Amino acid sequence: MSGKLTGKIALVTGGNSGIGLATAQRFVAEGAYVFITGRRQNDLDAAVKQIGKNVTAVQGDVSNLADIDRLFAAIKQEQGHLDVIFANAGGGEIAPLGSITEEHFDKTFNANVKGLLFTVQKALPLLPEGASIILNASTASTVGTPAFSVYSATKAAVRSFARNWILDLKERKIRVNAISPGVVPTPGYTLLGLSEEQVQEFVNSQAVTIPLGRVGTPDEIAKAVVFLASDDSSFVNGIELFVDGGMAQI
């Protein structure tokens, strides 16, 4: 074990599933103590079991500001500070222009943009100089996808936050980077409203368009998040790191 995060306190929002869970596992394997959040207590309990040690779960909805306050009160009480934030919680649903409802818009922006913004803002009092913030964007921040415009717009907003917040946090030497996963099958894919067969069809259709010829795994994203969280990326600031097998680069 290399211990790239030994002694660090980290937060992974949406750490009970998919990319967040894989990252929480990597963080702990690298020596960090990790707080994870998610909306469902059952899923959180299962994730805590899977991670095994050095983890605390705090239930909450990231789009609810009172829940975010409760989260940071718990972190403050238990550990006193926070070195790494992976603002990962979020998701999307399919809705072509013409069928977009106010509810769809609010749900997507409230989780992916409002929730992410206030997670970072409310964490600020706990962050020491040199802390690292990683925002989970998506290749959708720069490429178009049919029936996915609202989700994509939220991810473009997330990418923009990284560019701007490195200026707001300049004096404190806090780094902010975005990570943009490509196609990475997770439980989130069935939440899009797709059946298992439709997910498989989608995965197959995407794999042939990816220069590496396959989709990614949550752990491949987690490894890149560890890089951005650790001192290995000490001069990397404000970037969008694509982890997509080359999909958005061609």
* Residue positions annotated with a catalytic role: 151
Interaction between residue 245 and ligand NAD (CB under 6 A): no
Contact map string, positions 128 to 167, toward ligand NAD, x by CB under 6 A:
--------x-x-----------------------------
Amino acid sitting at position 211: P
Contact 243, 179 (CB under 8 A): yes
Interaction between residue 62 and ligand NAD (CB under 6 A): yes
Choose among 134, 144, 141: nearest CA to 160. 141
Distance CA 13, CA 61 (A): 10
Residues in contact with ligand NAD, counted by CB under 6 A, come to a total of 26
CB 104, min distance to ligand NAD, A: 14
Stretch that binds ligand NAD, among 166-174, 187-195, 199-207, 226-234 (CB under 6 A): 187-195
- Two tokens, residue 9: 């306190």
Distance CA 21, CA 12 (A): 8
Contact 57, 48 (CB under 8 A): yes
Q: Which is nearer to ligand NAD, 95 or 128 (CB)?
A: 95
**Using CB under 6 A, which of 5, 28, 71, 89 touches ligand NAD?**
89
CB 138, min distance to ligand NAD, A: 3
Q: Which is nearer to ligand NAD, 167 or 191 (CB)?
A: 191
**What is the DSSP secondary structure assignment for residue 140, as one 8-state letter?**
G
Q: Which is nearer to ligand NAD, 58 or 174 (CB)?
A: 58
Q: In what order do the strands lie in the sheet with 33-38?
A: 55-59, 33-38, 9-12, 84-87, 132-136, 175-181, 240-243
Q: Which is nearer to ligand NAD, 88 or 177 (CB)?
A: 88
Interaction between residue 119 and ligand NAD (CB under 6 A): no
**Using CB under 6 A, which of 29, 184, 226, 239 touches ligand NAD?**
184
The string over 148-187, giving b where at least 16 C-beta atoms fall within 10 Å of a residue's C-beta and e elsewhere, is: bbbbbbbbebbbbbbeebbeebeeeebbbbbbbbbbbbbe
Residues that bind ligand NAD (CB under 6 A): 14, 16-20, 38-39, 61-63, 88-91, 111, 115, 136, 138, 181, 183-184, 186-188, 191
